[in-house]
Amino acid sequence: MPTTVTLRTSAFKQVDVFTSTRFAGNPLAVILDAEGLPDADMQRIAAWTNLSETTFVLPPTQAAASYRVRIFTPRTELRFGGHPSVGTAHALIEAGRIDPDKPLVQECAAGLLPLRLAGDGNDRRIFVRAPPARVHPPDARIGAAVWHALAIEPRAAHPPRIVDNGLNWIICDLGDEPTVRTLAPDMAALASLSVEAAAIGICAFGRAQDQDYQIVVRAFAPADGVPEDPVTGSANAAIGAYLLATGQLDAIGTSYRASQGRELGRDGCVDVCVDAASGAIEIGGRSATCLDGTLILPRHQDRSADATAGF
């Protein structure tokens, strides 16, 4: 007997984040009408989009929030994500779902996160305050595994550290831009290390010279189905916390720009603002919508012996 499926639809946008140029930056799928959608279907949709993250917009559960968002990779749900937060706010403003002239607060699994807007139209940058970060002390065993997986000589001055800001990132200071740009890591080793360290991935950065950005970044999350992420808000927030904790922020500045994604042909920039007194970190940038339409969602599926329904 054929499967009977009752369908409903959702407004849908695919947004390139941390860029004002379409087909650059980091793509994000935004499902704007996700109320009532089961967790399993959210995960299936995120696997189907095959993007590093897909977000699902829901009514807020807390009075202070403007909206609620759930964030999924192709394999799991995240408590926080930088490019999902910036891109979802862009999509909601563009769709007229939230008022950019009012204070905006995102509700997600990591809590209530204030948003800040700078500029208008194509020049608008959206900033989200990352969850408070905890910078772990160096771990010699993890450090050795990082250098092995990245296939480079150890840097003793500032060893890798795990930074928890809603996600665990292993942050690696490689010193200079050329070293970061030319990395050719062992993805299997990075995936194994991520699982062992309970980290979403490994993020490497180095300092730039004579550029309109201050650092260059690459982020790898092969254990979560994302070998290299184009432009990563949460990892850049974690770098800001690492720089503050290791006393290196003054040399770069409390407001700086990071370049990421060039190696994937998806050049983007993340603006990072660090409050050195409180440790609060904002990450932000521009966004550009590439797809704007309607997605058909499964609402109810009758059980059947030959059920193989898809979307």
**Residue numbers annotated as active site:** 53
| Count of alpha carbons within 13 angstroms of residue 41, beta-carbon side | 19
Q: Nearest-CA neighbor of 51 among 76, 29, 81?
A: 29
Q: Nearest-CA neighbor of 56 among 3, 16, 24, 13?
A: 13
Looking at the chain, the number of H-run helices and the number of E-run strands are 7, 18
Q: How far apart are CA 157 and CA 173, in angstroms?
A: 9
> Are the CB atoms for 13 and 32 separated by under 8 Å?
yes
The residue with tokens 């807390």 is 62
Phi, psi of 104, rounded to the nearest 5 degrees = -115, 135
Amino acid at 178: P
Phi, psi of 211, rounded to the nearest 5 degrees = -125, 170
Q: How far apart are CA 156 and CA 171, in angstroms?
A: 14
> Are the CB atoms for 232 and 26 separated by under 8 Å?
yes
**DSSP H helices in the chain:** 39-49, 82-94, 140-150, 177-181, 187-196, 233-245, 249-252
Q: How far apart are CA 79 and CA 90, in angstroms?
A: 19
Token code pair at residue 87: 């891109």
